[in-house]
Amino acid sequence: MIVYGFGANAFSVALITEAPAAHRGSPRREASDRRHTIVEWPSPPAQLASSSGWSDRHDHAALCEELGDFVFEAVFLAQLEAEAGEFAIADSLQSIADKLVRRHPHVFKRDEGEAALESAGQVRTRWEEIKAQERGKSEKPTTLLGGIAPALPALLRAYHIGVRAASVGFDWTAPGDIVDKIQEEVNELREVVQVASAVDAARAEEEMGDLLFSIANLSRKLGIEPETALRKANDKFTKRFGKLERTVAESGRAMNEMSLDELESEWQGAKASDHAD
């Protein structure tokens, strides 16, 4: 059995978030602070994305700290809601526990005679079916894509939009079809950039968005999470650019004094050293 050991620690975090409540001033000021804090506080998906970056680098100490920040944000926002009489952090924990059990009947309470799920794909399909049933029971008007958090990083949201649409059969048949779509979007973007005498910024933005959306869905079709892929590409570029900076500094020159051809030559050297490592 895993020993989580967070009982006392969680209580400490809760007490810390409660402490400022007595020093916030008048009820009117408290209400104003609460509204602004909830609106302006960094979104949990953004904090979680930061945590994922440290996880990719296998920096366990940094990941530990980032996860602590993430948990604090959750407890702090729950504390604001508790002060307003809406809900407490315990309600949030019970909600996710109930949801996990409800959406994993094949693990926790499979009905008698119900077929076992044999693959990850079947589990995902069943998960989406249960979520659709939940949306149908909700008093709020919902759509298949309406439950995807707007606060998600846009590339990740595009990925999940594709997952939801594909769950009802609205999808490209094969990855090659999406590659064709990407080429179509590239051609349209090229037309905006090269053909027009003056770039139409609004249309360029629209075509760029279509291109990025198609790329996110190609990632999905290939089984690649696009945020992770792009994060790794960012890290790779950053590493190579650092090598470029060091090489140029060792030569006694400044990068802004070098021509593009010279910088490209040094860049290719940095790439070659990566492959040699």
Mark residue 113 as left, alpha or beta (left: phi above 0; alpha: psi -120 to 50; beta: remaining).
left
**pLDDT at 194 (0 to 100):** 84
Signed CA dihedral, 176, 159, 224, 134: sign only: negative
Which of 206, 178, 180, 181 minimizes the C-alpha distance to 192? 206
Contact 42, 16 (CB under 8 A): no
Q: Mean pLDDT, consecutive 10-residue segments, the chain of 277 residues? A: 53 57 46 47 53 65 83 84 87 87 74 64 76 70 81 91 93 97 96 77 93 97 93 94 94 94 94 79
Contact 231, 56 (CB under 8 A): yes
Signed CA dihedral, 259, 260, 262, 266: sign only: positive
Contact 80, 34 (CB under 8 A): yes
**pLDDT at 178 (0 to 100):** 98
* Alpha-carbon torsion angle 251, 257, 263, 266, nearest 10: 0
Burial class (CB in 10 A: 0-12, 13-18, 19+), 83: middle
Q: Per the confidence metrics, is the pTM higher than 0.75?
A: no
Distance CA 78, CA 91 (A): 9
Number of H helices and E strands in the chain, helices first, is: 12, 0
